[in-house]
């Protein structure tokens, strides 16, 4: 039997060349695919750079508008609750001091419509917000927590209304302080400090001085900062 080694060698060479061509084809596919990915990444990076450059002014404007909205809502709530609590606390004191009215604390029922107005205003303004920042969420939930804490405090201590004032002032100091820090508004931070000082006055001041601690606290902690904040918002919108 004669073995034709030349044919065998040719077949081996052909198979090797065929395998080489297949490997070369596969490598070319990977090279083309990798080149396409590089192009896509370059295009995406360029688009991101272009979008960042074009939208940076819009982002800054949106953040400024959100800050203005927060300032506007803050001033509204501060003035609403400042005047409401000032009226209720001062009326309670005047009725107790100069009249024979048996239950002067009835004036505090005016807080109920104040809660409704405050919640309605916050709900309406909140629905118009397209996006909420973490600062806005922290601000809102801080005051919601204070509202529910004050409500439960009234329910627990309703038999001894005179002891509630120092506790409410101490409790109100925390959201006022947080609001001042979030809005970077120093008068609110100072107002929070006055709440703590006047809470001590309400506790140790005696029957003649203690009832005046709450209306004074509303002036220093809510009304004065509220009008200053409103003026700041009006100045920014000009």
How many angstroms separate the CA atoms of 165 and 161, rounded? 8
Instruction: State both tokens at 35.
Output: 């080149």
Contact of 199 with 166, CB cutoff 8 Å: yes
| Per-domain boundaries in the chain | 59-237
Contact of 58 with 74, CB cutoff 8 Å: no
Cα 190 to Cα 45, 81, 150, 195, 236, distances in angstroms: 48, 18, 21, 9, 22
Question: What's the first-to-final CA gap in the chain, in angstroms?
Answer: 107
Residues 149-179, buried b or exposed e (16+ Cβ, 10 A)?
bbeeeeeeeeeeeeebbbbbbbbbbbbbbbb
Tens digit of pLDDT per residue, the chain (238 long)?
444 444 444 445 444 445 445 544 455 554 544 454 454 455 555 554 444 555 655 554 455 455 444 555 678 889 999 999 999 999 999 998 899 888 888 898 898 899 899 888 888 877 776 556 677 777 788 888 898 898 888 888 766 666 788 999 999 999 999 888 888 889 999 999 999 999 999 999 888 899 899 999 999 999 999 999 888 766 655 4
Phi-psi region at 184: left, alpha or beta (left = phi > 0; alpha = psi -120 to 50): left
Contact of 172 with 198, CB cutoff 8 Å: no
């Amino acid at each position: 039997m004669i073995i034709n080694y030349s044919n065998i060698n040719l077949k081996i060479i052909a198979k090797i060349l065929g395998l080489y061509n297949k490997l070369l084809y596969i490598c070319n596919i990977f090279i083309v695919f990798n080149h396409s990915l590089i192009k896509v990444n370059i295009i995406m990076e360029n688009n991101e750079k272009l979008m960042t450059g074009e939208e940076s002014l819009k982002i800054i404007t949106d953040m400024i508008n959100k800050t203005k909205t927060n300032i506007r809502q803050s001033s509204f709530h501060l003035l609403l609750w400042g005047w409401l609590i000032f009226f209720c606390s001062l009326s309670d004191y005047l009725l107790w001091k100069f009249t024979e009215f048996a239950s002067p604390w009835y004036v505090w029922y005016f807080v109920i419509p104040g809660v409704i107005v405050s919640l309605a205003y916050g709900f309406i303004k909140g629905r118009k917000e397209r996006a909420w920042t973490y600062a806005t969420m922290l601000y809102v939930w801080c005051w919601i927590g204070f509202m529910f804490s004050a409500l439960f405090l009234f329910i627990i201590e309703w038999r001894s209304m005179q002891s509630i004032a120092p506790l409410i002032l101490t409790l109100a100091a925390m959201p006022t302080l947080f609001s001042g820090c979030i809005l970077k508004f120093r008068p609110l931070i100072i107002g929070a400090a006055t709440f703590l000082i006047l809470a001590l006055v309400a506790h140790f001041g005696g029957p003649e001085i203690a009832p005046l601690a709450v209306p004074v606290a509303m002036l220093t902690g809510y009304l004065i900062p509220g009008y200053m904040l409103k003026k700041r918002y009006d100045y920014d919108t000009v």
